[in-house]
Amino acid sequence: MIQGRSTTEAVYRAIQTDSSSSLKDFSMDRRKYYKKYVLRENVEDKDNQAVTMGKLVETLLMEPHEFDDRFYMSSCASTPTGLMLEFVEGLYTATKEATDGFGVVTKTFEELSKEAYLISGFKIKHEQVISKFIGSDSEIYYNEIRKVRSQNLIVVNSQDVNNAEKIVEELKNNPFTKHIINQMNNQRYSVVNQLQIPDYVVDDHHFKSMVDKIIIDHDKQEVQVYDLKCTWSVESFYTEYYLYRRSYIQAYLYFHAAKSLTRDPQSKCYGYKVNYPMFLVCDSTNYYSPIIYELSDSDMQDAYLGFEYRERQYPGVKDLIQDLKWALNEGVWNISRKNFETAGIVKITN
């Protein structure tokens, strides 16, 4: 058997262990990590359309039976975009923050809408924004997200689903990806989608991972991990996603998650070689061809030790784990370990 789990995503999320997502959050915003993973507060991530499309594609491709547990079909013909979307999201946030423990909103709509107006960046007058909002699909969408986000559901419309279905078909039929997407279990290959690996260790710190797709080649005795990404810019994936969203952290941890499977004598892939993870990157508008991105030895070394790209430093998994363990042990979240150890004195230039 392949050691790991294929239970529901909700069960996986309930496991209180760090993951590539939590380590990425820590690397980018220690305050968010503290609120979300230490205090266990409900911190909502603001998804853009490409991220939502990625979740839709992943579900329809790999776990279609989970659709109703993850998404809510909007009655809107189209959901708001641009500044109106910013206004609606701002209105939702302001409403949520003004709602007391009994579910009562403690501010008037005018007060809430003015807060959202400032957040949105609209240049037209507040009254004009309200006139566009009242009675429109944007108001319906606002009421829908108020209703379902507390249930951890994502609001999508029929247009979103139709587009996601087309992307799925492209992945299944594209000459670059069809051999991966359509691979079935047989005597030579073991294929698992959304494999949960609930406990493995990197640098004496416990992690969990949920791998989009893993294919085990028993003839070659090799394990290959694939992660599906949906983005606006397929051919600029390295800068626009891999670096911007720090997916190199995910790649490094997924590699070691897979290696943990090969160390278990009860596993089908015991002693097998683990290849570096690959990213299957598709276009969220379904125009550009999907591309497979592979990692090299130097990419994995950079992911662990950290690296510089275009005069910007990207922290490696090694230092991030050390910093996270220090913050957890010391209970200090408002300053980095490095700056704490220098008593808050930092040289402006080296």
Checking if the pLDDT of 60 tops 80, the result is yes
Residue 247 falls inside a structural domain: yes
- pLDDT, greater one: 184 or 1: 184
Mapped onto helix, strand or coil, the DSSP state of residue 59 is helix
Residue 186 falls inside a structural domain: yes
Residue 290 falls inside a structural domain: yes
Last residue within a domain, chosen from 126, 144, 162 = 162
**Closest C-alpha to 148, from 80, 50, 74:** 74
What pLDDT score does 77 carry? 78
| Residue 147 shares a structural domain with residue 108 | yes
Residue 7 falls inside a structural domain: no
What pLDDT score does 191 carry? 97
**Closest C-alpha to 174, from 303, 97, 330, 283:** 283
Residue 14 falls inside a structural domain: no
For the segment 178-223, what is each residue's pLDDT rounded down to a tens digit? Answer: 999 999 999 999 999 999 999 999 999 999 999 999 999 999 999 9
What pLDDT score does 101 carry? 87
Residue 1: pLDDT band by 50, 70, 90 thresholds?
very low
Mapped onto helix, strand or coil, the DSSP state of residue 99 is strand
Residue 51: pLDDT band by 50, 70, 90 thresholds?
confident
Mapped onto helix, strand or coil, the DSSP state of residue 324 is helix
- pLDDT, greater one: 11 or 30: 30
Instruction: Provide mean pLDDT across the span 55-59.
Output: 95
For the segment 276-331, what is each residue's pLDDT rounded down to a tens digit? Answer: 999 999 999 999 999 999 999 999 999 999 999 999 999 999 999 999 999 999 99
For the segment 257-269, what is each residue's pLDDT rounded down to a tens digit? Answer: 999 999 999 999 9
Q: Which two tokens stand for residue 297?
A: 């030895």
Instruction: Provide mean pLDDT across the span 72-95.
Output: 92
Residue 276 falls inside a structural domain: yes
Residue 322 falls inside a structural domain: yes
Last residue within a domain, chosen from 145, 162, 179 = 162
What pLDDT score does 41 carry? 87
Checking if the pLDDT of 6 tops 70, the result is no
Do 156 and 54 touch, CB atoms closer than 8 A?
Answer: no
For residue 196, the enclosing domain spans 170-341
**Overall pTM surpassing 0.85 (yes/no):** yes
Domain count, the chain: 2
CATH number, domain containing residue 332: 3.90.320.10
Residue 19 falls inside a structural domain: no
Residue 316 sits at φ, ψ, to 5 deg, of -90, 165
| Residue 126 shares a structural domain with residue 242 | no
Last residue within a domain, chosen from 136, 162, 188 = 162
